[in-house]
Structure 1
Amino acid sequence: MRELLPYLRLLRRQRGRLALGALLMFATAGAGIGLLALSGWFITATAVTGALLAAGIAASLEIYVPGGGIRAFAVGRTVARYLERLQNHDAVLRLLALLRARTFARLARLDPATLGRLRGGELLTRLTSDIDRLDGLYLRGLAPPLVAALALALTTALLAIGDGGTALATVAALGTFGAVLLLGAWRLGRRLTEQLAASGARLRAGIVDHLRGLGELLAFRSAGHHRAGLDALDAAYRGEDTALARGIARGEALLHGGVQLAAVLVLLAALSLYAAGTVSGAVAVMMPLAVLGLLEPLGVLPGSGLHLARARAAARRLDAEAERPPAVPAPASPLPVPAGGALTLADVTVERGAGARVLAGVSLEVAAGEAVAVLGVSGSGKSTLAQLACRQLDPSAGSVGLGGIDLRRLDPDALYPAVGYLTQHTDLFAGSVADNLRLADPEASVARLWQLLEAVDLAGFVDGLPEGIDTWIGEAGLQLSGGQARRLALGRLLLRDPVLVVLDEPLSGLDAASARHVAATLERWLAGRTTLLLGHGREALPAADRYLTLRHGRLEPLPG
């Protein structure tokens, strides 16, 4: 259960609302028990009084107080149920907001290499399904056993009106039986919910990947094969879900059967007490009905064990990446990021996978204010070189430094804002043109944004959009062409004032005219900045002071 401790501490922030919600849950259960018990007593007492009067025996019965009590329990149960749902859902939604913010913040703090181990579908699962399972931690996991214990205490008091021994024996037996089934559901859930959570994550990630790559799958006629894999994942997920549901159903059936058996035994005991003249007929009927009122609060205990196990599995998944050692750890005593200086790679080797060398003994110095271009074919290691320069990756051997300081002696959280890095992949977000630009500077004025759009040859296009700079560009910028998206990303970069600039294929996807315009803009902006340019050819890059080529993991001067 230690995996749940951080989330239990989160519950404390809403303890007032949660306590009120639990009280309303007990009020609902208590009103149900009181309604059954009082109704049984009142109906029986009325019948007995009527029979006595019919036999000519003087008898009287106060009907207004119990009648009012029955109405109060009936109305109170409905009102308590409504207020309980209102209160608990408000508290749970507030908790969900806290959980999602906490999870997003933890994922955002992960270094790029660690974050890159998670597929897009897995990230989606973390932020949706896993957190949704945690919302049942209180409402369906912790609160039901508490309410069940209070309901047992109330039933003990009602049964004690007839006989204290019967009350204690009944409640002890039902409490023990409920606890055993709760523990059994917890153990079953621990075994199955982790498998179920993993299967569900694989299925959702597979579906996301299928949708993202549907064009390629259709082009290569592999959609059917990929869909068959998804069907297999779905079958495995549904099989595990069915096994879990059957286990919980068995537990609930046993618990309902146990409560009903207890009601029958209490009825027999009550009839014996009635025959002995110890209790009245009305009390004898009231006793088993009070036990039957426990069906609702006790019946959810197996499900409570399941929800606790589900919450534990979700918590373990949410914490898995945060507990893994970072790929680029922060130093114990970090040095401040230098205000400038040369970028140096000294005898750097990078190995991936099963020891395959991407870079082998690479040495490079980019002097302060110098622009160096590294050219190479796809897969030659250019992006690896960029990741090393930005410390998104540490070398297997050798060192990477900035201003004479090894990057491993700098705090990554302080280094990243000082680096302007444009990756091969254009990352845009579901928002407006202005929203995407202001990621680099939230305080940038509208006039400044238009200057940037002009600088990247995008102002005319944006000016013609329905809402101009406030036009929504769609999920991942899907409303833009590849070249337009690239220029928007470049405009965002120009809002920064970095110490080091790394541009990976900056003019990719641009037509010749736009490429010339943007290249001229970049050359002016890069003047005096330490810059590493990466591309397939010189024509795809702004002008540089030196040109190198990367072949077979080694840097060589560019021929000619």
Structure 2
Amino acid sequence: MMALFRDVAPWLKLLLRRRQQFWLGALLVWVTLLAGLSLLGLSGWFIVSCALAGIALAAGLPSTLDVYVPGGGIRFFALLRTLARYVERLYNHSTVLTLLADLRYRVFGDLTGLDDATLKRQRASEWLSRLTADIDQLNNLYLRCLIPPVAALLTVLVVSGFIAIWLPWVAVVMALVFTLLWLVVTVGFGWIGFGNSYQHVSDQEELRRLVLDQVQASAELRSYQTSGWHRQKIQNLEAVSTENQRRLALKLALGNAFVSAVTGLMLIATLWLGSLAFSAEQVVGPVLVMAVIAVLGMNEVFALLPAAFLKLGASYAAVQRLNALKPLAPVIDMQGLPYRADEHAIQLVSVHYAYPNTMYPALVDVQATLLPHTRVVITGVSGSGKSTLASVLMGRMAPTQGEIRVAGVPPHRLSTESRAEYFAFLTQQTDLFDGTLESNLRIAKPSATDDELWRVLNMVGLEDWVAQQPKRLSTNVGEKGQQLSGGQARRVALARLMLRDPSVVLLDEPFASVDADTAKHLAAALDRWLARRTVIFFVHQTEDAALLAGIDAWWHLDGGRLCTDTTSFSQPQAGAPYE
């Protein structure tokens, strides 16, 4: 129980940041429940009073009854219940949607802080499920496990106190029985259904993964003649999941039956104790009927609680997965650090990096020092470790052994803001979003003026093309830049990079997907923009060494080992081997 509370506490704190909305939502639920009970109780009292008055008049006995006040009360509670229910649903669902947006913002922030190795261990669809399915499970905490129990407990206290005016012993028994029932359907049913609901979430995630594998890897499964085996695996898991859901549904049915049974027994107890009071002339018949009907209406108060708390395990499973998204903890801010030329060098000391569950390390004993304002080219074939080295230099991953210092501090310890300000990285993969050209560029600098956007577009040779488009800067690039050619998308990404003012720039195949003339234009623009910056080019090989102007050293990465020779630099010709 303590572990559950410890894991859930951070998310409850995040939910309860909007505590005013929470209490107002709980108040609306409470008013709705009280209006319904008041309507039942007053209607029962009014019907019996009218019946008794009619019997008295038929028997020739004097009898009076004010039908206007209770009739008005019945109309008032009927309208109040309807209005409160509508406002409660509208307000609480609006609040929940806002809370889910807060949660998704928090989780997305955690995802952006994860290192590259962690992100690559899961599919994009599985990370998406963290933002959708797992967050939706937390909806159960707020909408079903927080507000209804609070409203139910307050309703028990108010109704018991009201009945105590005429039937004190009935009120005492009612308060004790319904308080125990409240504990059973919250704590008890939360414990009873915990394992099944927890397993349900795991089964659904595994099923989702297997079905995606069946679709996305269908060609491979057919080629290895394992499609039938894989489908059978899905069917077996479906059978197990269905059985688990059947057990959960059975417990839910038992929970509803238990609530109805306790409410029915309390109804009998109220009739018995009330009849004793009626025989002793301590209470009149209409009041007794009002108390009995109020007890009957308590079934509605507790009806939703078993289903909510039986799914507590599912919410906890989602919380555990979300808690596992622990990003690297940045603690250092570059602002305010004194500038020293030696501190702004890049130093790699015996750097090793090994991905989990791999036989060979990606980086092995990398030793290098890159002085400020110098340019280095690192070559290597695919799989030699270039992307890993870039991620480690960017602070996206911490080395498993050794030490990296950029500006005197480990890059993975930098705050996200400092890292974004200090570094710029053009990756091999071009990431553009479904939006306008302008919005994709302003990701790098939201305050950029139109003149600045046109300037960087000119630097990458896209100014004339954009000027010819009907919507110019408002031209839509499409999802993942699919409205652009590969070379255009690459240059848009480079233009976005040039809007920033970083100290260290990493460029991975900057001239990929462009023709020779465009590459020369980009090289000249890059040469001017990279002045007074520390630069590392990652390339497979140089077909035209003239594109990489002002290079101070050529390094080579082979099997995770970095070969450096910065003491005697000679620029290679096109196609020549590297030293």
| TM, length-normalised to structure 1 | 0.86
Deviation of 1:247 after TM superposition, in Å, equals 2.3
CA deviations 1:75-125 (Å, max 9, x no partner) are 121122122223323433333333333333343344444555554223322
Correspondence for 1:58:
62
SS at match of 1:427: coil
How many angstroms apart in 2 are the aligned matches of 1:383 and 1:216? 29
Correspondence for 1:254:
258
Contact 1:330 1:410 in 2 (8 A): yes
**How many equivalent residue pairs?**
555
Instruction: Confirm whether residue 543 of structure 1 aligns to residue 548 of structure 2.
Output: yes
CA deviations 1:205-258 (Å, max 9, x no partner) are 6677888x6898799899968984777766665654554343233212210222
How many angstroms apart in 1 are the aligned matches of 2:248 and 2:362? 46
How many angstroms apart in 1 are the aligned matches of 2:447 and 2:218? 39
Deviation of 1:379 after TM superposition, in Å, equals 0.7
Of 144, 150, 157, the residue aligned with 1:153 is 157
Contact 1:330 1:412 in 2 (8 A): yes
> What does 1:504-543 align with in structure 2 at a 5 Å threshold?
504-539=508-543, 542-543=547-548
Contact 2:153 2:182 in 1 (8 A): no
Correspondence for 2:337:
336
Correspondence for 2:485:
481
Of 29, 32, 54, the residue aligned with 1:25 is 29
Correspondence for 1:553:
560
> Structure 1 118/452 Cα, relative in aligned 2: closer, same or farther at 3 Å?
same
Contact 1:506 1:540 in 2 (8 A): no
Letter in 2 for 1:24: L
CA deviations 1:153-208 (Å, max 9, x no partner) are 23324543553223322332232123212212211343234333344445556677
CA deviations 1:13-47 (Å, max 9, x no partner) are 43333323222222211121121122122212212
Correspondence for 1:349:
352
> Structure 1 336/262 Cα, relative in aligned 2: closer, same or farther at 3 Å?
same
> What does 1:43-442 align with in structure 2 at a 5 Å threshold?
43-160=47-164, 163-203=167-207, 228=231, 240-275=244-279, 277-306=281-310, 308-322=312-326, 326=328, 330=331, 336=337, 341-353=344-356, 354=358, 356-402=360-406, 405=408, 407=410, 411-413=414-416, 414-442=418-446
Contact 1:370 1:531 in 2 (8 A): yes
CA deviations 1:362-386 (Å, max 9, x no partner) are 3334444332222222111111222
> Structure 1 246/88 Cα, relative in aligned 2: closer, same or farther at 3 Å?
same
SS at match of 2:492: helix
How many angstroms apart in 1 are the aligned matches of 2:253 and 2:299? 14
Deviation of 1:490 after TM superposition, in Å, equals 1.1
How many angstroms apart in 1 are the aligned matches of 2:236 and 2:465? 46
Contact 1:182 1:305 in 2 (8 A): yes
How many angstroms apart in 1 are the aligned matches of 2:319 and 2:105? 15
Contact 1:125 1:204 in 2 (8 A): no
Gap runs ≥5 in structure 2: 565-576
Correspondence for 2:571:
none
Correspondence for 1:2:
6
Deviation of 1:292 after TM superposition, in Å, equals 0.6
Letter in 2 for 1:411: L
> Structure 1 423/188 Cα, relative in aligned 2: closer, same or farther at 3 Å?
farther
SS at match of 2:325: helix
Letter in 2 for 1:27: V
How many angstroms apart in 1 are the aligned matches of 2:534 and 2:480? 30
Deviation of 1:297 after TM superposition, in Å, equals 0.9
How many angstroms apart in 2 are the aligned matches of 1:221 and 1:143? 53
Correspondence for 2:501:
497
Letter in 2 for 1:4: V
SS at match of 2:361: strand
Letter in 2 for 1:320: A
SS at match of 1:177: helix
Deviation of 1:426 after TM superposition, in Å, equals 1.6
SS at match of 1:91: helix
Letter in 2 for 1:152: V
Contact 1:133 1:314 in 2 (8 A): yes
How many angstroms apart in 1 are the aligned matches of 2:454 and 2:334? 42
Deviation of 1:395 after TM superposition, in Å, equals 3.0
How many angstroms apart in 2 are the aligned matches of 1:478 and 1:31? 57
SS at match of 1:321: coil
Letter in 2 for 1:336: L
Comparing 187-196 with 108-117, greater Cα deviation is found at: 108-117
How many angstroms apart in 2 are the aligned matches of 1:411 and 1:181? 48
Contact 1:347 1:398 in 2 (8 A): yes
Comparing 172-181 with 190-199, greater Cα deviation is found at: 190-199
Letter in 2 for 1:92: V
Letter in 1 for 2:541: G
Gap runs ≥5 in structure 1: none
How many angstroms apart in 1 are the aligned matches of 2:536 and 2:18? 50
Contact 1:473 1:480 in 2 (8 A): yes
Deviation of 1:333 after TM superposition, in Å, equals 11
Letter in 1 for 2:354: E
> Structure 1 534/372 Cα, relative in aligned 2: closer, same or farther at 3 Å?
same
What percent identity do the matched residue pairs reach? 38
Letter in 1 for 2:559: H
| TM, length-normalised to structure 2 | 0.84
SS at match of 2:536: strand
How many angstroms apart in 1 are the aligned matches of 2:195 and 2:514? 54
How many angstroms apart in 1 are the aligned matches of 2:394 and 2:445? 20
> Structure 1 96/358 Cα, relative in aligned 2: closer, same or farther at 3 Å?
closer
> Structure 1 101/160 Cα, relative in aligned 2: closer, same or farther at 3 Å?
same
Comparing 169-178 with 25-34, greater Cα deviation is found at: 169-178
Contact 2:185 2:305 in 1 (8 A): yes
